[in-house]
Amino acid sequence: MKLQDKVMIITGASSGIGRATARQLDTLGVHLILTARRKDKLEQIASELHSAVCIAGDMTDPSLPEQLVEAAVSKYGRLDIVFNNAGVMHIGTVDDADINALCHMVRLNVEAVVRMSYTALRHMKKQGSGFLINTSSLAGMKSFPEIGPYCGTKYAVEAMTDSFRMELAGTGVKVTAIEPGRTRTGLFDHWSEEKQFNPAEGMIEPEDIARSIQFILEQPDEVLIPRLLIVPARQPR
Ligand SMILES: NC(=O)c1ccc[n+]([C@@H]2O[C@H](COP(=O)([O-])OP(=O)(O)OC[C@H]3O[C@@H](n4cnc5c(N)ncnc54)[C@H](OP(=O)(O)O)[C@@H]3O)[C@@H](O)[C@H]2O)c1
């Protein structure tokens, strides 16, 4: 895909991987619809870019995916790419995990991804072209102690993304799961100090994931990367 003048929605665009991807694709001439809850952050990012519209909102609001697609179509007449990326990570032991936070995570990391995926794919299928990238994780491939519900949300993203890929083969609509390992973002900011990762095992930067998103999108029409795992070279798991 040639990225110049393509129209792209990015969810979770106010920080981390979403923000880095917005900046990367902006340099290639992509028109961006950015969303997240923090309007001030979104507007700050958009003000640095050439062509970005902000629609602040909570992805667990069932009406938001349709609003995002409508914004793309009314402004540009089309929607080429959705980076379905907003997510949170709550962890904890059987004894100390916050059950309400875990269940809210399931709504955001799974339910909202389902709504955004179907809303975008219906539009793209009619259009006869489009690209959906869902953010999974290394945790979408294997489970770890105290992180089970988060891993479960990403297993769900893996399953639905691969199912969409097979269903839509030959329609002109492509679907990929990106699978980052530990990436230096705001995802762990709310964790207590003793839960933080061992810095000796390294972290990749959100810009590393943004370059991978570009790589996935720029493949020729006949090529699809269904999943892409990117981990710190020093991460032993
Ligand atoms: N960092 C890693 O090591 C890593 C590894 C594998 C996968 N991932 C995945 O990468 C994705 C992006 O996370 P990140 O690492 O870039 O973390 P981040 O910096 O915390 O970014 C998360 C983004 O999601 C948005 N968000 C959170 N709750 C939301 C809600 N209810 N409605 C709408 N937007 C919401 C946040 O914006 P607001 O707070 O402004 O709403 C923010 O823009 C997530 O799906 C995460 O699971 C991250």
**φ, ψ for residue 231 (rounded to 5)?**
-130, 160
Is 235 within a domain?
A: no
Amino acid 194: pLDDT: 79
163 alpha carbon to ligand 1 midpoint, in Å?
A: 23
Is 199 within a domain?
A: yes
The parent domain of residue 218 ranges over 7-230
Spatial strand order in the sheet of 130-135: 52-54, 31-35, 7-11, 81-84, 130-135, 173-180, 227-230
Tell which residue, 32, 46, 39, 37, has the closest CA to residue 12: 37
Unique residue bearing structure tokens 């299928």: 125
Amino acid 236: pLDDT: 83
Amino acid 190: pLDDT: 86
Amino acid 110: pLDDT: 98
What CATH number is given to the structural domain containing 220?
Answer: 3.40.50.720
Amino acid 189: pLDDT: 86
Per-residue pLDDT of the chain (237 residues; tens, 9 = 90+): 899 999 999 999 999 999 999 999 999 999 999 999 999 999 999 999 999 999 999 999 999 999 999 999 999 999 999 999 999 999 999 999 999 999 999 999 999 999 999 999 999 999 999 999 999 999 999 999 999 999 999 999 999 999 999 999 999 999 999 999 999 999 998 888 877 778 888 999 999 999 999 999 999 999 999 999 999 999 887
Amino acid 191: pLDDT: 82
Q: Quick one: tokens of 46?
A: 């958009």
Active-site residue, selected from the candidate residues 76, 118, 150, 155: 150
Amino acid 198: pLDDT: 82
Is 210 within a domain?
A: yes
| Overall pTM > 0.85 | yes
Is 172 within a domain?
A: yes
Is 180 within a domain?
A: yes
Name the domain count of the chain.
1
Mutate to test the pocket of ligand 1, among 9, 63, 68, 85 (most ligand atoms within 8 A of CB): 85
Is 118 tagged catalytic?
no
Is 95 within a domain?
A: yes
Is 1 within a domain?
A: no
Mutate to test the pocket of ligand 1, among 9, 110, 185 (most ligand atoms within 8 A of CB): 185
List the residue whose alpha carbon is closest to atom 23 of ligand 1: 12
Is 169 within a domain?
A: yes
Protein residues with CB under 6 Å of any ligand 1 atom: 12-18, 36-38, 41, 58-60, 85-89, 108, 135, 137, 180, 182-183, 185-187, 206
Amino acid 192: pLDDT: 80
